[in-house]
């Protein structure tokens, strides 16, 4: 497992893997709007305010020494892809 902290990024072949940021909010929210996704998760944010709170929790957890999980974004040619 590779741990990525702060502003560190992994770059290869036109792709960038980086920790998720609050600026990724809209894409993060849109990823969970699909019917199949909603069936797979127990809780889905109903609006961007809920998604923002959830994203902040994930970002703050990521900063801990032993986080519960990690969330990443993939950038392809400068465009962020979260789904």
pLDDT classification of 1: cutoffs 50, 70, 90: very low
- Residue by residue, DSSP assigns the chain as -----TT--EEETTEEEEE--GGGHHHHHHHT-SHHHHHH-S---SSHHHHHHHHHHHHHHHTSSS-S---EEEEETTEEE--
Domain ranges in the chain? 10-81
Taking only the tens place, the pLDDT of each residue in 47-59 is 999 999 989 988 8
Question: Against a cut of 0.85, is the pTM above it?
Answer: no
């Amino acid at each position: 497992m590779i741990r990525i902290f702060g502003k560190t990024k992994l770059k290869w072949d036109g792709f960038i893997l980086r920790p998720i940021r609050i600026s990724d909010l809209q894409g993060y929210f849109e990823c969970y709007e699909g019917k199949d996704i909603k069936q797979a998760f127990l809780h889905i944010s109903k609006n961007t305010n809920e998604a923002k709170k959830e994203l902040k929790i994930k970002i703050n957890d990521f900063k801990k020494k032993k986080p519960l999980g990690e969330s990443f974004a993939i950038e392809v040619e400068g465009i962020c892809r979260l789904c």
